[in-house]
Amino acid sequence: MLTLTLVRHGETALNAERRYQGRIDPPLSEHGAAQAAALANVLRRALSAEAAGHAAPPAPIVYASDSTRALHTAALALPGATVVPEPRLRELDFGAFDGRSYEENLDAHGDLFRAWIDDPAGVRPPGGETLPELEARIADWLDTLPRDGHVIAFTHGGPIHAILARLHRVPFVVARHHGVAPGDALRLIVPAHESGLVSPPVRLRDHAAGRGRHRPVRIRWGPGGPVVDPSQPTPRPTPSSWRNR
């Protein structure tokens, strides 16, 4: 089986300002660098627990989106590790929406921006990419991973939700119910056989380094895997769905 640890990069100034950031490449803020440094202890404890009882466990394979914010997070969280830059782990390309706030995009793009908010799978941001294109490159990356060992990936909110959607066989909008804040780390156990059930994600992040509690996860886990909690309304994209990436 494969242990897969997904880490969202630390906070940037654009995160704090609630602006879209896809291919735009801001550095970590001071707070984001502190989040990344705090992850070093979190990941060290997780790796030590995993190594218990093994004489010489193999070192994890470490990937990172080739964005500055992801690579810097990886360098601070796993100092000395060999990190493989992976373009397929980039955030969604927001095109003309990148770097702008929700309100600024409404002013600049009006109906087109509203249409994209309602249907990110079918509407392309000018100069950007669609949700299915993000999901396709994430699926392509997942298909290259080994069936056992440990892989750590430093990436972004959109790719993490695309990975959760693919592995748990749920729509992207359902996977988004897993709140993933800057500096968060999630661990999943992926069975060697495709018929196996991927474990629910376990959050490794040290909450003392973060900014409070996350919204609740509205997915319940039955014997057959993840299902949407029927007591909750069917989710749909909201203005906040693509903010703060």
Query: Which residues are part of the catalytic machinery?
Result: 9, 91
| Residue in the block written with tokens 């990975």 | 163
CB 164 within 8 A of CB 178: yes
Cα separation, 232 vs 35, whole angstroms: 32
Cα separation, 195 vs 191, whole angstroms: 8
Neighbours of 71 (CB within 10 A): 17
In terms of Cα–Cα distance, which of 237, 206, 181 is closest to 15? 181
CB 126 within 8 A of CB 98: no
CA-to-CA separations, 132 to 102, 152, 194, in angstroms, rounded:
22, 24, 22
